[in-house]
């Protein structure tokens, strides 16, 4: 009997975006911008930074396990504390969902090339992991509904989706939901909720609570707290109650909890983040299209660019790295001919477009876009 199960041996570790320091060293470029991990280009909420400062002297004390943050989120969303869970990033809550709900005879169902961290977590459980193809780079909810069988236990849906940036709509979700038996758990990953919530057709899962839906959200993106690792989830109290049994008792850490609570109060930072993202997304999308690239329209804080081949995608990544711009190749997500570019500041976007033009050998004039 091998020490490590074959389904673990077969996995490859998650590949995070490359760091600024790594690229500065490898390419000898001083001024590097990272557009590879969908982070917040405005940094961290100032109110969160202040709140962390205030509690630096209390770090020898164990955290509360997130109780205060759960209470705050419950109050904001008019729920009971028992409907809310928090953890070290939504990734951690996802890991707990996999551990809590899957039995050996169950299956996980989702789209092809889904969010890579989820794929890895689901496969680490050693149960069948089934996918259906995208339809226009969006979850094909009809095909997913048809693919449900008696072993299906978890259906994972990210909306908006990473890495495609696309969103399924309210009517699509409503039609899909009618076909999902109650014994199947829908894991609705809304990591990019803040960017999409003003879209009239966005199916905000908090507008209709179903007993077999778990909503996951995060402080890593619009709140600029990716380095602290704080995520949260909403669900029926029976589901949350079981998740709480296996959650590591002290996550999130003290700094993460106080920062998240302060970030929720910082409306100005969230407003500036969303306004900048809307502008940068427009500049990036139109600028790339003006250069003749196929760009999938995005509802999040990044775009997926479709190249002719994996070789061309890798050439683009490399061509941009040489000019100090880190973007994400999507081979490890399962879309090798694509590259994902996160939004930055407006200046970052102009610099990125000029670098793309330079790599392509196109006149920079072609990149100017009306806003």
What is the contact surface with ligand PLP in residues (CB under 6 A)?
38, 89-91, 115, 158, 162, 189, 191, 218, 220, 226, 231
Least Å from the CB of residue 366 to ligand PLP: 31
Nearer to ligand PLP, 87 or 287 (CB): 87
Least Å from the CB of residue 159 to ligand PLP: 9
Least Å from the CB of residue 158 to ligand PLP: 4
Residue nearest to ligand PLP (CB): 89
Nearer to ligand PLP, 285 or 342 (CB): 342
Nearer to ligand PLP, 69 or 369 (CB): 69
Nearer to ligand PLP, 291 or 343 (CB): 343
**In the structure, how many helices (H) and strands (E) does the chain have?**
14, 13
Using DSSP's 3-state secondary structure scheme, residue 130 falls into strand
Do 168 and 137 touch, CB atoms closer than 8 A?
Answer: no
Cross-strand partners of 156:
187
Least Å from the CB of residue 2 to ligand PLP: 30
Distance CA 350, CA 343 (A): 11
β-strands 129-132, 107-111: how paired?
parallel
Distance CA 139, CA 132 (A): 8
Using DSSP's 3-state secondary structure scheme, residue 129 falls into strand
Nearer to ligand PLP, 261 or 355 (CB): 261
Least Å from the CB of residue 124 to ligand PLP: 16
Using DSSP's 3-state secondary structure scheme, residue 280 falls into helix
Distance CA 27, CA 144 (A): 44
Least Å from the CB of residue 247 to ligand PLP: 14
Neighbours of 24 (CB within 10 A): 14
Nearer to ligand PLP, 254 or 342 (CB): 342
Nearer to ligand PLP, 141 or 357 (CB): 141
Nearer to ligand PLP, 264 or 357 (CB): 264
β-strands 231-234, 84-87: how paired?
antiparallel
Do 149 and 132 touch, CB atoms closer than 8 A?
Answer: no
Do 176 and 142 touch, CB atoms closer than 8 A?
Answer: yes
Distance CA 218, CA 88 (A): 10
Least Å from the CB of residue 143 to ligand PLP: 20
Distance CA 227, CA 104 (A): 34
Least Å from the CB of residue 324 to ligand PLP: 23
Kindly state the helix (H) or strand (E) to which residue 73 belongs, with its residue range.
helix 67-76
Least Å from the CB of residue 227 to ligand PLP: 9
Give how far Cα 276 sits from Cα of 165, 318, 327, 336, Å: 17, 27, 19, 29
Nearer to ligand PLP, 101 or 115 (CB): 115
Give me the helices (H) in 140-291, please. 141-147, 170-178, 193-196, 237-246, 254-265, 267-290
């Amino acid at each position: 009997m091998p020490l490590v199960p074959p389904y673990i041996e077969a996995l490859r570790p998650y590949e995070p975006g490359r760091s600024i320091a790594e690229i500065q060293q490898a390419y000898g470029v001083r001024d590097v911008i990272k557009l590879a991990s969908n982070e917040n280009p405005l940094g961290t909420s100032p109110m969160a930074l202040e709140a962390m400062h205030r509690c630096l002297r209390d770090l020898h004390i164990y955290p509360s396990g997130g109780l205060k943050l759960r209470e705050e989120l419950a109050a904001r969303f008019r729920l009971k504390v028992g409907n809310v869970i928090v953890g070290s990033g939504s990734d951690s809550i996802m890991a707990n969902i996999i551990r809590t709900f899957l039995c050996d005879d169950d299956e996980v169902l989702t789209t092809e090339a889904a969010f890579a961290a989820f794929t890895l977590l689901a496969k680490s459980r050693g149960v069948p992991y089934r996918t259906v193809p995208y339809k226009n780079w969006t979850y094909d909810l009809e095909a997913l509904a048809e693919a449900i069988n008696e072993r299906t236990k978890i259906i994972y849906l990210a909306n908006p989706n990473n890495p495609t940036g696309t969103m399924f709509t309210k009517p699509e979700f409503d039609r899909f939901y009618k076909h999902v038996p109650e014994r199947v758990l829908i894991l609705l990953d809304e990591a990019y909720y803040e960017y999409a919530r003003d879209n009239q057709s966005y199916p905000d899962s908090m507008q209709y609570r179903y007993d077999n839906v778990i909503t996951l959200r995060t402080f890593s993106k619009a709140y600029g707290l990716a380095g602290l690792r704080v995520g949260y989830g909403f669900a029926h109290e029976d589901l949350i109650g079981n998740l709480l049994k296996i959650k590591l008792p002290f996550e999130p850490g003290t700094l993460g909890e106080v920062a998240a609570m302060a970030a929720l109060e910082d409306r100005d930072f969230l407003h500036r983040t969303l306004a900048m993202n809307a502008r940068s997304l427009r500049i990036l999308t139109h600028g790339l299209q003006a250069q003749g690239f196929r760009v999938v329209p995005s509802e999040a804080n990044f775009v997926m660019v479709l190249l002719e081949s994996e070789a061309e995608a890798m050439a683009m990544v490399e061509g941009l790295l040489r000019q100090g711009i880190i973007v994400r190749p999507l081979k490890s997500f399962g879309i090798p001919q694509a590259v994902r570019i996160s939004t930055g500041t407006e200046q970052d976007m102009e610099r990125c477009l000029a670098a793309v033009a330079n790599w392509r050998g196109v006149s920079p004039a072609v990149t100017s876009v009306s806003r």
